Amino acid sequence: MKSLCCCAALLLAVAAGRADVVSGPKVGDKAEDFTAHGVVGIIDGKDGSYIKERKGDPTIYVFVSAENFQRPTAQFLKGLDAALKDAPGKAAVVAVWLTEKPDMIKEYLPKAQMSLNFVNTSLGVFKGDKSGPKNWGINPDAHVTVVAVKDNKVTAVSAYESINGTDVRKVLTAAKLVDDTKNEPKKKDEPKRK
């Protein structure tokens, strides 16, 4: 009986360790404005507002815990970037690193851009607390928090302790940027021919 209780306790501990992380704003919330230092992309080499720059266009914000950034996260970001190539409505990714050492990350991100060659992704560093922008509810225990925003409203939220390229489809489906009937990214609207 004692060994059965120990096995049950071990299984519960393993399950708790793999549980989803709660992080990010609630679906339907307004995407609150915040300032970050843009390193690559729509804000380049200065502080600015990604919310204002994106002007309500579909945006997937990826808040990355710098201390937990590893190759699988880079694979996820690259997959997301590639998948949005043909997405509708000027969809793009904004990846914001959360760190207590922003100057170090500012030096690193141009090297990451050279390696990963992002086309649809802007890279920036949040200069405040590593829990991210106020009112975004970012949990510092989450390695990655993904927040989809359209028309400045949160449309989907997911957080991960571990992420990789296989999670791209799940994020695109939640953000409604995937055509579920064809199981492929939605295409940009083609101009109508006369």
| Residue 15: pLDDT over 50 | no
Q: Note the pLDDT of residue 89.
A: 72
Residue 16 pLDDT class (50, 70, 90 cuts): very low
| Residue 64: pLDDT over 90 | yes
Of the candidate ranges 91-100, 151-160, 180-189, the one whose mean pLDDT is the lowest:
180-189
DSSP of 136-176: S---TT-SEEEEEEETTEEEEEEEESS--GGGHHHHHHHTT
Distance CA 145, CA 35 (A): 17
Q: Note the pLDDT of residue 150.
A: 93
Secondary structure letter of residue 27 according to DSSP: T
Q: Note the pLDDT of residue 85.
A: 82
Decide which of 124 and 4 is more confident.
Answer: 124
Yes or no: domain 21-185 corresponds to CATH 3.65.10.10: no
The mean pLDDT of 20-28, rounded to a whole number, is: 92
Of the candidate ranges 14-23, 39-48, 149-158, 166-175, the one whose mean pLDDT is the lowest:
14-23
Amino acid in position 22: V
Domains of the chain, residue spans? 21-185
| Residue 2: pLDDT over 80 | no
The mean pLDDT of 101-118, rounded to a whole number, is: 95
Q: How many CB atoms lie within 10 A of CB 165?
A: 17
- The reported pTM is 0.82
pLDDT digits (tens, 9 = 90+) for 166-179: 999 999 888 887 65
Three-state secondary structure call for residue 54 = helix
The mean pLDDT of 63-83, rounded to a whole number, is: 95
Of the candidate ranges 69-78, 142-151, 168-177, the one whose mean pLDDT is the lowest:
168-177
Amino acid in position 61: Y
